[in-house]
Amino acid sequence: MADGLAALPAPNWLGEAGLARCRRALDSRLTRETWKYSPLRKVTQALLDAPQTHAPPFADAPEQVRMRRFSALATPPAFKVSLDRYPLAGIAGAVAGDGWLVKVVETPDAPLRLQPAAPGVAAPVLLEVAAGCRVEIEEAGAGLSSFAARVVLLSLAAEAEVCWSRADLGAAAHGWSLLSAQLERNAVLTFNHQSLAEAFQRLDLCVALDGIGAQFNGTGAALAGTGAHLDLQVVVEHRGPHTVSRIKQHNLAAGKARCTFNGRIHIHPHACGADADLSNRNLALTANAEINTKPELEIYNDDVRCAHGATVGRLDDDGLFYLQSRGLTASAAQRLLAIGFLRSGLQGPFAKQAARAFVTQLSAANTG
């Protein structure tokens, strides 16, 4: 067991039983499977050793957003996440000791800016978006080289819409985060994620489409350079009828990088008319990159549409020749194809900034 885990006190909103469950789950077969490519022990230890940070998640939040510390609430909030699947969520919560309950009660006038994760373990955030509200969330990583961890549990009431854009463009960004979302009827969550990695970055994304017609759109692009260890774990639970998920993730390994993508789509028995589409494309510019991609499908209903694709490849020879035949040098042609590939996975307010960062990185690395 990691040092300090046994002595970790349980906050009242997690409870001794909850924390004990997390400790046990660290050793489960499921955890070993989902952490197959990442150093669970090291991350657990980093969580236990990291300082706590209790800054409010949103600075200058408008009046439509109400933030309270867990410790200031009359009754402890429900920490709604599967501790069996995400034991680190409970451990991070216990390390932080306190958390933030954030309620969006009306549509804010402007995008909410989530404070960049500071070094250490951030207080977990329960973010509740009221029925019919539309929220844009922008999260620009600080690119810190010290370990940062954050847990956000998001719930969207009926007809609520959240568009969340995250950019981790400081190559040194290093850490683990969990975004777990639960969607009621016709709620829509869009998550755009772009990352430029040269260190360990793990993202667990878990979306429960509970209500009828709930929808998740996830788009991501990652450029992984030497030293990068990018691990994206996505789980979508289609529980309600006519729920929709669209996932597109483009990963480019430019040096001696390690990229893992695990996309799991689970269609439950009541999810008739569910429509799921997941595509993960990976390109390796060098021979010493390691790419792991594992699509997983579990379908318990016949009346569904499900497309699932994962590819690992190199830059397209025909494309390279086409560009060279127009005068571009081989390295310029490779760069343009690579940036085109990444751009196809960019979406949202950080898309331009990310594309620029990718171009700069690819030019500097002269990877192609």
Partner 1 sequence: MSLLQVDDLHAGVDGQAILKGLTLRMDAGEVHALMGPNGSGKSTLANVLAGRPGYEVTSGRLSFKGRPLDQEAPEVRAQAGLFMAFQYPVEIPGVSNMEFLKAAQDSHRKANGLGPESPVAFMQRVRTLTEGLALNPEFLKRGVNEGFSGGEKKRNEILQMLLLEPTLAVLDETDSGLDIDAMQTVASGVNRFRSANNGVLLITHYQRLLNHVVPDFVHVLADGRIVESGGKELAHALEERGYAWLTA
Which residue in the set 26, 135, 336, 357 belongs to the binding site for partner 1 (CB under 8 A)?
A: 336
Helix (H, G, I), strand (E, B), or coil: what is residue 131? coil
Contacts of 357 (CB under 8 A, 6+ apart): 169, 196
Burial class (CB in 10 A: 0-12, 13-18, 19+), 60: exposed
Which residue in the set 319, 349, 363, 365 belongs to the binding site for partner 1 (CB under 8 A)?
A: 319
**Distance of closest approach, residue 355 Cβ to partner 1, in angstroms:** 9
Instruction: Considering the complex, state which of residue 20 and residue 332 has its C-beta at the smaller distance from partner 1.
Output: 332
Rounded to whole angstroms, the Cα distance separating 23 from 7 reads: 11
Stretch that binds partner 1, among 30-38, 207-215, 286-294, 313-321 (CB under 8 A): 313-321
Instruction: Considering the complex, state which of residue 269 and residue 327 has its C-beta at the smaller distance from partner 1.
Output: 327
323 lines the binding site for partner 1 (CB under 8 A): yes
Stretch that binds partner 1, among 126-134, 238-246, 294-302, 327-335 (CB under 8 A): 327-335
**Distance of closest approach, residue 130 Cβ to partner 1, in angstroms:** 37
Stretch that binds partner 1, among 69-77, 89-97, 180-188, 339-347 (CB under 8 A): 339-347
From 166, 74, 174, select the one nearest 112 (Cα to Cα): 166
Which residue in the set 197, 284, 342, 354 belongs to the binding site for partner 1 (CB under 8 A)?
A: 342
318 lines the binding site for partner 1 (CB under 8 A): yes
Tokens found for residue 122: 């951030």
- Amino acid in position 367: T
Instruction: Considering the complex, state which of residue 187 and residue 323 has its C-beta at the smaller distance from partner 1.
Output: 323
Instruction: Considering the complex, state which of residue 212 and residue 339 has its C-beta at the smaller distance from partner 1.
Output: 339
Give the relative orientation of helices 351-365 and 330-343 as an angle to the nearest 10 degrees: 150
Beta bridge partners of 293: 261
Tokens found for residue 205: 């994304």
Contacts of 48 (CB under 8 A, 6+ apart): 2, 3, 4, 5, 8, 91, 95
- Amino acid in position 237: E
Which positions touch partner 1 (CB under 8 A)? Answer: 316-319, 321-330, 332-333, 336-337, 339-344
